Amino acid sequence: MSLLQSATEVRERAYAPYSRFKVGAALRAASGAVYQGCNVENVAYPEGTCAEAGAIAAMVAGGDTVIAEVFVIADSPEPVPPCGGCRQKIAEFAAPDVRVTLCTTDGKQKAMTVAELLPGVFTAAHMDRA
């Protein structure tokens, strides 16, 4: 199964009773394993958790810590980028040249690198004086 198919499949399992905006994410770890995540909303935090964060949590729980590729899909007129927090999380586990593909359910795609997705990323090097 491709990453696009995996992200599309998990998107259908998103729990989005407030926004009704379902997002699916799939990533391939450096090991070759594929991990999925979908957004999950709740009444206290209606924005919920993001699909990308869910996929990264699944990856770490699965014993992997290096992202090789990411796909994100949503039913939107244009490809939807990850939120700022998820961009930072992706950058924590992926090299700057890792490909991130943003997709719509209509088939539009936009591919970019992690560096393009999050220019000026905060890294551990920023804390060298701490």
* Active site amino acids: 52
86 annotated as a binding-site residue: yes
Q: 53 with 27: CB under 8 angstroms?
A: no
Exposure class string for 7-37: b at 16+ Cβ within 10 A, else e = bbebbeebebeeeeebbbbbbbbeeeebbbb
50 carries a ligand binding annotation: yes
> For residue 110, with 0-12 CB atoms within 10 Å meaning exposed, 13-18 middle and 19 or more buried, which class applies?
middle
Torsion of Cα atoms, 120 then 121 then 122 then 128, to 10°: -70
Q: Is 39 annotated as a binding residue?
A: yes
The answer to whether residues 109 and 102 touch, using CB atoms and an 8 Å cutoff, is yes
40 is in an annotated binding site: yes
Cβ atoms 56, 88 nearer than 8 A: no
Task: Tell me whether residue 41 is annotated as binding.
Answer: yes
Residue ranges for the binding site for Zn(2+)?
A: 50, 83, 86
Residue ranges for the binding site?
A: 39-45, 50, 83, 86
Residue ranges for the binding site for substrate?
A: 39-45
